[in-house]
A and B are shown apart, each in its own frame.
Chain A
Amino acid sequence: MPEGSRGLLLAGVGGQGVILASMIVADALMRAGHDVKQSEVHGMAQRGGSVFSHIRWGERVDSPLVPLGSAEVLAAFEWAEAVRWVEYVRDGGAVVADIRTIVPPGACTDRRSWLRRYPGIDGELFDSRHLKTRLIDATATATDLGNVRAANSVILGTVAAFIDIDDVHWEAAIADLVPAGTEKINLAAFRAGRQVAEARVPDAAQDPDGFSGPHEIEIRHDWCKGCDICSRVCPEYCLAVDVDGKLTIVDPEACTGCRLCEILCPDFAIDIHAPRELAVVGTNTTNESSA
């Protein structure tokens, strides 16, 4: 490795401004006299996907990609992204993570347990690797200063503590690259980020007990005239009207018991029966999520 070639990772979700933030970091490092390379992947990431950017600096930089387990700092603009990219950080390195959570709809699809698949915020999650974890609430800090959109500069302010370059370079890079007219607020946000307090992690929201086993769909065929209302409205695609106009259950397992078909059937031809075990459930103890 060329002497002193170091790495930093920025990560967030599409639309959070990860790319602009990493251009600011790269620019500040360049102003401080370093060779710099910064690498990201555009494309599908723009559609709500995970966005990350590698930055390397030193006397002479070869690889623009940070080797695994070697980054000085991971700056995450969202909690789940901090968890995703932590393996790039070296033992004893730093994680600066915004406690903001962006839960994708894909985390809300288990219609049996009704649990969200999203990692709970936990400041001690990386302790075994001796990482210096700094949890901050950049959104709140930026809002206090008068503009939520300056949250990224708050994060950069906190990150600056872990990178050995003079503040004048940071401030020059910010002033140069943020949208015209927002220089002042972003510089204030950067300075606030320098001394932002550790965020108070909100109490993990208790997941309510939820459970819905497959319900039983009962069709009174002699009352059904095949109007197709129920099959069009079923959110689980359980029902279909076949070519002969006869209503059939195509996916009985998928019924969550929402009873839309029962309620909307003009001929009272459908009854939904809750499974027997539903009477005793409601004592769900696993809690994966706390979004």
Chain B
Amino acid sequence: MITAPTASKADEVTRVLMSGNEAVARGAVEAGVLVAVGYPGTPSTEILESIANRDDIDVRWSPNEKVALDVGLGASLGGVRALVTMKHVGLNVAADTFMTAAYTGVGAGLVVISADDPGMHSSQNEQDNRAYARMAAVPLLEPSDSAEAKAYTALAFEISETFDTPVLVRTTTRVSHNRGLVELAERLDRPVLGFTKNPAKYVMIPGNARRRRPVVLKRLDDMRDYVEESPLTEAFGSGTDFGVITSGIAHHYVREVLPDARILKLGMSYPLPMERIRRFADSVDRLFVVEELDPYVENDLRAAGIDVEGKSLFPQIGELSPDVVRAGFAEAGLVSKGIPIVAAPSTVTRPPLMCPGCPHTPPFLALKRLGAVVTGDIGCYTLAALEPLSSMDTCVAMGSSIGMAVGMAASGGADGPVVATIGDSTFLHSGVAALADAVYAHANITVLILDNGTTAMTGGQEHPGTGVTLQGTAATPVDLVAMCTAVGVKDVKVIDPYDLAATYGALGDAISHAGPSVVITNRPCVEAPMKVRDTPFTVLAEACTACQACMTPGCPSIVWSDELFEGRRKVVIDPITCTGCTLCVQLCPPRAIVLVNTAEVSHA
């Protein structure tokens, strides 16, 4: 029935280095998955990308996570194993389907990957998605490295089919983006089971849902029995002085700091193997729980009357690390504090920047000059909130910009024109309904759609507007102008953002238009799908008056030189990174910025 995670000893097995993401994908491949679908989001993106070239799996990007889960559920009901991937906040978007998919159960195995990001390396929050498993009464697996990422994903399909439930697999950045050794196995050949009509199970009208609810709870009890015996719960070490309960990456940090400690590692952390935990707790004098983010296991143990130490020693905020775990155990009196660390000398900070020639830069320069109140969104353009553009006033969740602009305009409290800024991928993810609302409310706002033809922030993925699929086939691209017009926006304009005067003009006009207006930029991202590299520019030092006008957009190619003019620094352009966008040229009053090849001629 359910097979244990593989721990093959055969010499001839292929051992390869794989990231956690590649390993998740590999686990799905070996489990015979036929549909893999998701929406990009760090740290989950590479899962689907790593198997995009397989012709035996349908691998796709959806416009958002809810659609992805709907596609996955549909495929599962159609009788094929389906993998659905997203970052942690993506599950908020997909939560509506997720909660009720727990009621419908599955056809063939359905596994949802939630890649959490403790420490918020590239996210807007650090929510702990283990809570979703409990809310939906869905089993939760937490792999701790690449080998387990593969094994657990494969096993999750078995669990899904055995218990007729979607399964949630939660990774974290240090699992997703960690490379470790993985042993490869053969791909299972799974037939398409076909869809069996069963309205009582798949049509969740109240009458049917009421009958499914007890099934969900009964299933939870069955899974409790399973997890008590499951090899997913592993014991390590010896001793009775103390014991540690771990899950996910925290397990390895504990082993690093206390190599011989008694550990009960929870591979499946919902539902919990409460009897095993109780026996473990009874066999030690002190019990610790080390888990990243929320006191999720800890609170359950307390509720079960088990005495435990956890968040009083290990922080609830941010990532754990060997150093953080050591500090916690030092406070508990179990280890020394470790060697004192000599702080590094001070160095330069390197906040992320928009690329040289990024087409998002000029419109934000214009919005700053126009004194707009800018409700922003999530993507590369969010960097406009930072110095020196400092021209974005809000950023909350994907697609929030337009609805928030409608509300901001309704409040009457903005001291400038209200402009929502949103990327093309984000607009198709969750901006369209909000634009309909702007029309419906006749909101006096301007929506700036920054159409760079890709999902840039996450590395340049295709989306329904790009006309290409993840597997490289052609698709019909969504026509953004037609879409905005169809929704009912009267004033829709397309501009070339590299033309600074036109960008100013168009945004100024749109702002003065009563009611909702849309401005769409049309230059591609300089990094994806193709690298845009035009002839670079250079600064004629003798003509530069060091006014700093070209520095206002914050192009990373422009830095100070060693020369001064009237006590101010002149500038130089790095010819290797300059993409030749002409923005600085348009800003330079003394016309000191010229194409590199003309400069060579004039110096000759």
- Mark A residues whose CB is within 8 Å of B: 1-2, 5, 13-14, 23, 26-27, 30, 35-50, 61-65, 67-69, 80-81, 83-87, 103-109, 111, 114, 116-119, 125, 128-129, 205-212, 232-233, 235-237, 256-260, 263-264, 278, 281-282
Contacts and interface: CB of A to CB of B under 8 A. Distances in A.
Contacts, number: 215
Contact of B552 (A68, A235, A278): A235
Given A62-B252, A210-B564, A106 B177 contact: no
Contact of A118 (B249, B326, B348, B545): B348
Contacts of B17: 23, 26-27, 30, 36, 38
B559 A107 contact: yes
Interface string B326-355: 100000000000110111111111111111
B322 A65 contact: yes
What are the 3 tightest A-B residue pairs by CB atom distance, in nearest-first order? A43-B122, A47-B352, A258-B547
A42 B180 contact: no
A37 B352 contact: no
A50 B350 contact: yes
Interface in B83-136: 121-122
Given A44-B121, A83-B344, 18 more contacts: A13-B350, A36-B181, A40-B177, A49-B352, A49-B353, A62-B256, A64-B252, A103-B348, A105-B559, A108-B560, A129-B342, A206-B562, A210-B567, A235-B548, A258-B546, A260-B589, A264-B589, A278-B567
Contacts of A86: 344-345
B255 interface: yes
B174 interface: yes
Contact of A263 (B43, B551, B589): B589
B179 interface: yes
B380 interface: yes
Contacts of A13: 350
Residue from the set B145, B179, B387, B552 with the largest chain A CB neighbour count within 10 Å: B179
B551 A105 contact: yes
Nearest to A122: B345
A6 B340 CA distance: 19
Contact of B354 (A47, A61, A237): A47
A39 B569 contact: no
Nearest to A45: B352
Given A43-B42, A258-B547, A111 B568 contact: yes
Contacts of B589: 233, 260, 263-264
Residue among B348, B352, B548, B568 with the highest chain A CB neighbour number at 10 A: B348
Contacts of A65: 174, 253, 321-322
B322 A67 contact: yes
A84 B355 CA distance: 23
Contacts of B43: 42-43
B42 A87 contact: no
Interface residues of B, number: 69
17 contacts: A37-B178, A39-B178, A42-B42, A65-B253, A65-B322, A86-B345, A87-B344, A104-B351, A105-B551, A105-B559, A107-B348, A108-B551, A111-B568, A114-B560, A208-B563, A259-B547, A278-B567
Contacts of A45: 352
B177 A41 contact: yes
Contacts of B253: 62-63, 65
B566 interface: yes
A260 B549 contact: yes
A32 to B, nearest CB: 13
Nearest to B42: A43
Contacts of A128: 342
Contact of A64 (B145, B459, B567): B145
Given A30-B17, A235-B547, A64 B180 contact: yes
Contacts of A48: 350, 352-353, 355, 556
B24 to A, nearest CB: 15
B564 A208 contact: yes
A38 B145 CA distance: 11
A69 to B, nearest CB: 5
Contacts of A263: 589
A105 B562 CA distance: 14
Contacts of A260: 547, 549, 589
B271 interface: no
A38 B177 CA distance: 8
Contacts of A111: 548, 568
A85 B387 contact: no
B173 A41 contact: yes
B352 A44 contact: yes
Contacts of B181: 30, 35-36
Contacts of A84: 344, 347
